[in-house]
Structure 1
Amino acid sequence: MTRFRRAVHNKEFLVTAEVMPPKGGDPSHMIKMAQLLKGRVHAVNVTDGSRAVLRMSSLAASVILQQNGVEPIYQIACRDRNVIGLQADLMGAHALGLTNILALTGDPVSAGDHKQARGVFDLESVRLLKLIDKLNQGQDFNNKPLVDGHLDLFAGGAVDPQIKSWSSVKRRFEYKIEAGAQFFQSQLVSDFERLDKFMHNVASQYNKPILAGIFLLKSAKNAEFINRCVPGVHIEQDTIDRLAKAQDPLAEGVKIAAEQVKLARELCQGVHMMAVKREDLIPQILDLAGVAPVD
């Protein structure tokens, strides 16, 4: 059982963080950032073509982190693989000891840097979770037996409590529970009242850990960019003003993130930290929030 899986079962306060694989063949920067998180997080998510932007294979990058003593959560998205490729990669992940999985639909190709590419989308995240459950039971997509052994993958899903349609949030969450999701990591949370409502009205019925997405805002310009470009997220104007007035916007962003971690600790079982290109600041955020190192 992985450290992350054990922490879920023990109902510990969970901390994960996100790193991006390199754009190229040299993983040294990714390794450096991830190693700075050792002892502070239970596992490190390795993104799979986030925003449909070209990066190294998340499967390969996850193996590299594991070889360097960092426990990964292997993200796998449906955009770039048909159902044969998804199963093949999941079997390979299991054989390589990558059992923490985050099942995603994937961002549309139109959002990324290869707009001429074709999205596959044989499945989406709910059906991918169902497929993982089948593989764990020793059957493939066509209900044929896995003659060389079943898998043992610990799969989670994404959740976005800030989607405008409350019925859609509830329905998608419940579908993922039924499909076998064992944990949930949320998108960037900016509305903690909405998160509170989600936790009390929806998540509390299912006893699955929710990790609130905490994003390091580096400046007012960065916050405004997120408001323009990230669907479903709205950074409040008073937060933007606070960053704009700060003598050191990045330090102010660290304080804001720490305050949000404290809010999340009152509501849910964990946080998922996102600090794009400044993963080295995550330990400082956790320290300010009073989150102790993990065992």
Structure 2
Amino acid sequence: MIEPPQSVFEKPEPTFNKFRKAIANKEFLITAEVSPPKGSDPTHMLAQTRSLKGRVHAVNITDSSRAVMSMSPVAASVLIQQQIGIETICQLACRDRNRIALQGDLFGAAALGITNILALTGDPVKAGDYPDARSVFDYESVRLLQLIQKLNQGLDANGKVLPNQGTDFLAGAAVDPQSPSWSGLQKRFERKINAGAQFFQSQLITDFERLDKFVNQIANQSDKPILAGIFLIKSAKNAIFLNKFVPGVQIPDRIIDRLAKAKSPLQEGMAIAAEQIQTARQICQGVHIMAIKAERLIPEILDRAGIALL
């Protein structure tokens, strides 16, 4: 009898499980958003990320956010994990992939040691730098979460047993506590819970009373952590731009006025972000910090918020 050849592939050990353990231990979760480069040189991305080591449980790698083309989030995640040693949460959007490509990318991510996925529908292409590109949207975020559940069980999208091993992802989802439709927000949240979401990252939060209401009336019905989106607003002009061009963002006039009157708008923006982290800490189980092109400032923001080294 001829023995089948043994695999020579050594799958990376799941060394990046800090985020999963922190969720299980009910720790206050800290994640930061990092954007892959618009090109093949990751030097700047890695330099910005290096300062986050020891300050965050994981960095969240965007997938062509706002439909602006960038390096593959899988490739960027692997580079960060291998060269910096920080755990990643790899975003995966349905906008650009059908179910075949989604499964292929998920298998590749698992084989390369990525353990966390944020399942997203994806921003419409009209918002980005290729408005004439053809969208896919074969799935949306709930169906992507359901797919990840199947892969974790060793099954493919058709429910057939995978001959070469399944996955073991911690899957998360996005949520917008400031959504104008309360019933729609609740239904969408419950669908994502039922589809297997293990954590939730919120959109940019400015209305913390609304966040508190969401956590107490909807999210607390589950045991899944909510990470409030905290955005470093660099100036009044930046705030006005966000209000005008980013869907769902509603930065109040009091914050815009505060930034406009500040001697150093950037320093004032950092102070506001630190205050918001302190507020979020009283409401939910974590924060997701977005400091686009200024990730190096996140450690100082955490210091101001009284968040110690991890």
Range of TM-score over shorter length: over 0.9
Q: Which residue of 2 aligns with 1:114?
A: 130
Q: Which residue of 2 aligns with 1:14?
A: 29
Does 1:173 find its partner at 2:189?
A: yes
Distance 2:305 2:113 in 1: 32
Distance 1:232 1:92 in 2: 33
1:34-45 equivalences in 2 (<5 Å) = 34-45=49-60
Distance 1:98 1:232 in 2: 30
Q: Which residue of 2 aligns with 1:197?
A: 213
Task: Kindly provide the CA deviation profile for residues 182-232 of structure 1, in whole angstroms up to 9, marking residues without a partner as x.
Answer: 000000001000000000000011010000000000000000011101112
TM-score when scaled to structure 2? 0.94
Q: Which runs of 5+ in 2 are unaligned?
A: 1-13
Q: Which residue of 2 aligns with 1:236?
A: 252
Does 1:25 find its partner at 2:40?
A: yes
CA contact (8 A) 1:164 1:232 kept: no
Q: Which residue of 1 aligns with 2:293?
A: 277
- Name the SS of the counterpart of 1:272 in structure 2: strand
1:130-279 equivalences in 2 (<5 Å) = 130-279=146-295
Return the offset for 1:112: 0.4
- Name the SS of the counterpart of 2:254 in structure 1: helix
Distance 1:11 1:130 in 2: 25
Task: Kindly provide the CA deviation profile for residues 234-274 of structure 1, in whole angstroms up to 9, marking residues without a partner as x.
Answer: 11101100000000000000000000000000000000000
Return the offset for 1:70: 1.6
Aligned length: 294
Return the offset for 1:149: 1.0
Distance 1:234 1:116 in 2: 28
Query: Partner amino acid for 2:237?
Result: K
Query: Partner amino acid for 1:261?
Result: I
Q: Which runs of 5+ in 1 are unaligned?
A: none
Q: Which residue of 1 aligns with 2:75?
A: 60
Distance 2:132 2:174 in 1: 27
Q: Which residue of 1 aligns with 2:92?
A: 76
TM-score when scaled to structure 1? 0.99
Return the offset for 1:147: 0.9
Return the offset for 1:71: 1.0
Query: Partner amino acid for 1:236?
Result: P
* The structure with more radius of gyration: 2
Runs of 4+ more than 6 Å apart: none
Distance 1:55 1:128 in 2: 21
Task: Kindly provide the CA deviation profile for residues 58-116 of structure 1, in whole angstroms up to 9, marking residues without a partner as x.
Answer: 11001100111121111000011110000011011111110111000000011000111
Distance 2:19 2:179 in 1: 28
